[in-house]
C-alpha cells in the first residue's frame, strides 16, 4: 500500500510461518526453564524414547490429516469427513483381518481403496454437484460413522496384524516408523505442489475459482484431487492410530480429529478462505498444539481440560490473521518507528 | 395460495412430504406408532435438540454457523448441577445464571465475528473447545440433581388424556418454537436476519443494523444452547461435562433437512421444527423395530441429509445465485 510495510517489523508481522514457529519456540523455552526433563532422550534396545519423541508420535495422525486438509482448505473447502474416514478404514481393516485373515498388503490396499471411494464421493459432491464443502463432508461424516459402526456391529475389535501394529508401534533405525511415514507423505505433497503446477492450480482455485477456470485450470479436477488426497491421508492416519492403540473402537476412532486437523492448518498460517497455503506451517501447527497440551499436562493440567488452551491458541491465531487487527498492529509499530527516527 | 408452490417453498414442502411419508411408513409397520403418546414423546424426547436447532436456524439464516452449541449445552448441564448439588443454590437462580452465561458466551463470539470479521466457523470452533474444556473445569464427574424444585418441574405437565401428559421439556420446546416463529417472520429483527443472510453488503447499504443483528443472532443461539442444556437436565435430572457431544451436527442437520439453505437468507422456522420431528421419528422408528442398532440411525440421517441437499441444490441452482465472497 505504501512504502512503510517494507520495514522488518511489518514484514515479520505479515509472514505466515513465523507465528507458529515463535509459539513453538516459546513453549520449548518454557520447558527449558521450568521442566528440563522435557528434553531428555533415552534409548531402549536402540530405540529412541522421551517426552519430545512422544509429542511427535502423538501428533503424527493429526499431521497426516493436516497435510491433506491444507490442500483442501487451500481450494477454499474444508473436509469434515476425515475422522469418519478413519473410523471406516479402521473398522474395515479390523473386520477383514479378524474374519478373513487378510494379510498386511491386502489390508493396506483395502484401506487406501476405501479412502479412494470416500474421497471421490466427497470430491464429486463438492465439484460436480456443487454442494458447499462443509455440508458435503458433513454428510459423509455422519454416514461414515454409521457405516463404521455397522461394519463391526458397534463392538471394539482387536488388531493382531503385525504389519498394522508395526505402523503404530514399530521403529526403523531407532526412530518410530511413523516419522519416516509422515515425512514421505509430506515430501510427496510438497513435491507435487512445488515442483509441478498442482500447487499453483490449487491456489488459483482457492483464490478465485471462476477466474482459474476461465484461464484454463481444471478446477473440478483439482478439487476432486485434493479431497482424494485428504481421504488417503486419513486412511494412513487410521492405520497408524489403530496400530498404536491395538484395537478399533468404531465410535471413538478419529472422533473430533477433523477439528484438530483444521486447527493445525489454521494455526499453521493457512487461511480458511482459501488461496495461499503452507504445508510446513500445518505440520508446525500440529506440533505446536501437541507440545502445548503435553507441556500443560506435565505441569499438572487434567487432560480433560486440554480443549481450553487449544481454544485460546486458535483465538490468538485468528486475531493475528484478522486484517483489521493486523493493520492496527502494523500501524502501531511503523508509526512508533517513524517517531523514533 | 398460488404462492405456496413456488421454487422457494419447494424445499420445505419436500420436508413436510418426507415427514408425513416417514411417519406414515412407520405407522403402517408398527401397531402402536400412530398414537398420541408417540407424537407427544417425539416432542418430549427431542426437546433439547429442538430448542438448540431453533437458535441454530437464525445463525444459518444469517449465513453463519455455530459449532459451539453442543459444548454449551454440556457446560450448562454440569454448571447447573454443580451449583445446585455442591453450592446448594436454588435451581431457579442456577438456571438464570446458566442462561445468562450462555447468552454472554454467544454475544462474545458474535462480537468477535463482527468486529474482527473472523469466520464464524473458526470462532465457534474456538467456542466449542472452550465451553467443553470449561465444563470439565467445573466438574469432570457427573452430578445428580436432587432438589424439590426439579421434582416439581419434572412431575408437572399438562394432561392431554389420562395416560398422556405434555411434560415440561415439550412445553419449553413449544414455547421456544412459537417465539422463534414470531421473531423470524413477524419482527424487525427477523427481517434483518434474512437481509444479512441474503446479502450483507446490501443490508448495510439499506441502513440495516448488520453488526448489531449479527451479535444478537449469536447471543440468541448461545441462549438457546443454554436453554437446551436446562431442558436436558429436566430430561435426565443430572449434569455431565460430556453431554451434547456432536449435538451441533444434529442441530445443523435438523435445520438443513428443514429446508434452510446453508448459504443464508432462505428458510423457515417451521421447517426446522419438521427437521427435528423427522430426526426424532427416525430415532423412534429404529427403537420400535428393535433389531437395528444405532448405526442405522446415523446412516438414515446421513442418507436423508444427502437426498435433501441434492434436491435443494437442483432447485436453487438456476434462480438463486450464490453470493461470492
Q: Where are the domains of chain B?
A: 2-317
Q: Chain B within 8 Å of A62 (Cβ-Cβ)?
A: no
Is residue A70 one of the residues assigned to a domain? yes
Is residue A338 one of the residues assigned to a domain? no
Q: Are A259 and B115 within 8 A, CB to CB?
A: no
Is residue A72 one of the residues assigned to a domain? yes
Shortest Cα distance, chain B CAs vs residue A139, angstroms: 5
Could you give the C-alpha distances from A13 to A16, A226, B8, in angstroms and in order? Answer: 8, 30, 46
Q: Which of B250, B22, B300, B45 is nearest to A149 (CA)?
A: B300
C-alpha–C-alpha distance, residues B201 and B191, integer Å: 15
> Which chain B residue shows the shortest CA-CA distance from A141?
B302
pLDDT of residue B81: 95
pLDDT of residue B5: 63
Q: Which of A319, A327, A329 is nearest to B117 (CA)?
A: A319
Shortest Cα distance, chain B CAs vs residue A87, angstroms: 13
pLDDT of residue B34: 87
Q: Which residues of B touch A132 (CB under 8 A)?
A: 262-263
Q: Chain B within 8 Å of A310 (Cβ-Cβ)?
A: yes
- Residues B269 and B177 sit within 8 Å (Cβ to Cβ): yes
Q: Which of B189, B200, B221 is nearest to B68 (CA)?
A: B221
Length, in residues, of chain A? 341
Indicate whether B307 pLDDT > 90.
no
pLDDT of residue A2: 46
Is residue A18 one of the residues assigned to a domain? no
The C-alpha cell that represents B70 in the structure block: 453442543
Report pTM: 0.86
Residue-number span of the structural domain to which A277 is assigned: 46-326
Q: Chain B within 8 Å of A320 (Cβ-Cβ)?
A: no
Is residue A25 one of the residues assigned to a domain? no
The residues, any chain, with a CB within 8 Å of residue A46's CB and separated by 6 or more, are A171, A174
The C-alpha cell that represents A36 in the structure block: 528440563
Average per-residue pLDDT in chain B? 88
C-alpha–C-alpha distance, residues B17 and B10, integer Å: 10
| pLDDT string in tens for chain A (341-residue length) | 444 445 666 666 666 778 888 889 999 999 899 888 888 888 888 788 888 888 999 999 999 999 999 999 999 999 999 999 999 999 999 999 988 989 899 999 999 999 999 999 999 999 988 888 988 998 899 899 999 999 988 788 998 888 899 998 888 888 899 999 999 999 999 999 988 888 889 988 888 888 888 888 888 999 999 999 999 999 999 999 999 998 899 888 988 899 899 999 998 988 888 888 999 999 999 999 999 989 998 888 888 888 898 888 888 888 887 777 777 777 877 766 555 44
Give the distance from CA B318 to its chain's centroid.
Answer: 30
pLDDT of residue B321: 41
C-alpha–C-alpha distance, residues A79 and B291, integer Å: 33
How many Å is the maximal CA-CA distance in chain B? 59
Q: Which residue has the higher pLDDT, B287 or A279?
A: A279
Other C-beta atoms closer than 10 Å to the C-beta of A208 total: 16
Q: What's the fold here for domain B2-317?
A: ABC transporter involved in vitamin B12 uptake, BtuC (1.10.3470)
Is residue A1 one of the residues assigned to a domain? no
Task: Supply the CATH number for residue A217's domain.
Answer: 1.10.3470
Residue in A138, A149, A272 nearest the CB of B122: A272
Q: Which residues of A touch B294 (CB under 8 A)?
A: 149, 154
Q: Are A135 and B256 within 8 A, CB to CB?
A: yes
Q: Chain B within 8 Å of A300 (Cβ-Cβ)?
A: no
User: The complex's ipTM?
Assistant: 0.81
Q: Chain B within 8 Å of A132 (Cβ-Cβ)?
A: yes
| Domain count across chain A | 1
pLDDT of residue A304: 85
pLDDT of residue B305: 80
Q: Which of B8, B221, B43, B216 is nearest to B131 (CA)?
A: B221
Is residue A22 one of the residues assigned to a domain? no
Is residue A124 one of the residues assigned to a domain? yes
Indicate whether B323 pLDDT > 50.
no
The residues, any chain, with a CB within 8 Å of residue B142's CB and separated by 6 or more, are B78, B81, B238, B239, B240, B241
Q: Which of A129, A122, A123, A132 is nearest to A84 (CA)?
A: A122
Other C-beta atoms closer than 10 Å to the C-beta of A154 total: 15
Amino acid at each position: 500500500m505504501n512504502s512503510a510495510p517494507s520495514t522488518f517489523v511489518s514484514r515479520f508481522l505479515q509472514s505466515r510461518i513465523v507465528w507458529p514457529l515463535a509459539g513453538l519456540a516459546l513453549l520449548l523455552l518454557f520447558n527449558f526453564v521450568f521442566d528440563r526433563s522435557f528434553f531428555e532422550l533415552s534409548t531402549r534396545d536402540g530405540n529412541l524414547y522421551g517426552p519430545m519423541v512422544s509429542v511427535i508420535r502423538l501428533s503424527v495422525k493429526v499431521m497426516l490429516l493436516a497435510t491433506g486438509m491444507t490442500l483442501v482448505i487451500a481450494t477454499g473447502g474444508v473436509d469434515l469427513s476425515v475422522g469418519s474416514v478413519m473410523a471406516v478404514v479402521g473398522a474395515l481393516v479390523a473386520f477383514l483381518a479378524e474374519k478373513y485373515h487378510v494379510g498386511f498388503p491386502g489390508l493396506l490396499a483395502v484401506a487406501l481403496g476405501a479412502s479412494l471411494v470416500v474421497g471421490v464421493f466427497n470430491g464429486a459432491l463438492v465439484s460436480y454437484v456443487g454442494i458447499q464443502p462443509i455440508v458435503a463432508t458433513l454428510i459423509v461424516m455422519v454416514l461414515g460413522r454409521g457405516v463404521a459402526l455397522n461394519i463391526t456391529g458397534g463392538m471394539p475389535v482387536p488388531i493382531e496384524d503385525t504389519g498394522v501394529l508395526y505402523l503404530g508401534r514399530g521403529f526403523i533405525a531407532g526412530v518410530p516408523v511413523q516419522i519416516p511415514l509422515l515425512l514421505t507423505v509430506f515430501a510427496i505433497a510438497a513435491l507435487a505442489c512445488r515442483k509441478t503446477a498442482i500447487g499453483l492450480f490449487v491456489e488459483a482455485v482457492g483464490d478465485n475459482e471462476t477466474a482459474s477456470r476461465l484461464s484454463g485450470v481444471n478446477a473440478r479436477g483439482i478439487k476432486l484431487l485434493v479431497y482424494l488426497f485428504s481421504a488417503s491421508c486419513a486412511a494412513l492416519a487410521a492405520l497408524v492410530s489403530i496400530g498404536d492403540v491395538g484395537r478399533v473402537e468404531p465410535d471413538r476412532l478419529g472422533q473430533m480429529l477433523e477439528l484438530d486437523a483444521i486447527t493445525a492448518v489454521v494455526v499453521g498460517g493457512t487461511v480458511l478462505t482459501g488461496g495461499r497455503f503452507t504445508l510446513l506451517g500445518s505440520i508446525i501447527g500440529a506440533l505446536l498444539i501437541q507440545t502445548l497440551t503435553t507441556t500443560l499436562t506435565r505441569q499438572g493440567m487434567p487432560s480433560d481440560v486440554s480443549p481450553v488452551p487449544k481454544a485460546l491458541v486458535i483465538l490468538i491465531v485468528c486475531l493475528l490473521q484478522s486484517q483489521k487487527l493486523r493493520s492496527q498492529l502494523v500501524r502501531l509499530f511503523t508509526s512508533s518507528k517513524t517517531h523514533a527516527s | 395460495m398460488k404462492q405456496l408452490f413456488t421454487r422457494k417453498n419447494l424445499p420445505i414442502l419436500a420436508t413436510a412430504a418426507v415427514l408425513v411419508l416417514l411417519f406414515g411408513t412407520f405407522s403402517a409397520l408398527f401397531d402402536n406408532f400412530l398414537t398420541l403418546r408417540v407424537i407427544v414423546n417425539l416432542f418430549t424426547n427431542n426437546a433439547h435438540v429442538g430448542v438448540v436447532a431453533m437458535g441454530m436456524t437464525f445463525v444459518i439464516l444469517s449465513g453463519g454457523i455455530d459449532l459451539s452449541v453442543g459444548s454449551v449445552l454440556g457446560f450448562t448441564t454440569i454448571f447447573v448441577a454443580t451449583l445446585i448439588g455442591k453450592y446448594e443454590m436454588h435451581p431457579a437462580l442456577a438456571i438464570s445464571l446458566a442462561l445468562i452465561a450462555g447468552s454472554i458466551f454467544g454475544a462474545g463470539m458474535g462480537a468477535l465475528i463482527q468486529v474482527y470479521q473472523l469466520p464464524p466457523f473458526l470462532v465457534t470452533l474456538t467456542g466449542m473447545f472452550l465451553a467443553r474444556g470449561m465444563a470439565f473445569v467445573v466438574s469432570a464427574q457427573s452430578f445428580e440433581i436432587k432438589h424439590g424444585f426439579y421434582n416439581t418441574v419434572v412431575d408437572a405437565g399438562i394432561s392431554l388424556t389420562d395416560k398422556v401428559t405434555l411434560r415440561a421439556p415439550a412445553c419449553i420446546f413449544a414455547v421456544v418454537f412459537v417465539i422463534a416463529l414470531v421473531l423470524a417472520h413477524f419482527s424487525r429483527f427477523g427481517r434483518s436476519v434474512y437481509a444479512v443472510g441474503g446479502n450483507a453488503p446490501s443490508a448495510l447499504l439499506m441502513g440495516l443494523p448488520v453488526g448489531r443483528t449479527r451479535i444478537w443472532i449469536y447471543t440468541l443461539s448461545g441462549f438457546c444452547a443454554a436453554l437446551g442444556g436446562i431442558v436436558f437436565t429436566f430430561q435426565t435430572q443430572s449434569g455431565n461435562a460430556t453431554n451434547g457431544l456432536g449435538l451441533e451436527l444434529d442441530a445443523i442437520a435438523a435445520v438443513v433437512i428443514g429446508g434452510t439453505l446453508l448459504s443464508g437468507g432462505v428458510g423457515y422456522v417451521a421447517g426446522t421444527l419438521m427437521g427435528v420431528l423427522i430426526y426424532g421419528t427416525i430415532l423412534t422408528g429404529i427403537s420400535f423395530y428393535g433389531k437395528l442398532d444405532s448405526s442405522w440411525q446415523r446412516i438414515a440421517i446421513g442418507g436423508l441429509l444427502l437426498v435433501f441437499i441434492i434436491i435443494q441444490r437442483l432447485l436453487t441452482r438456476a434462480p438463486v445465485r450464490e453470493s461470492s465472497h
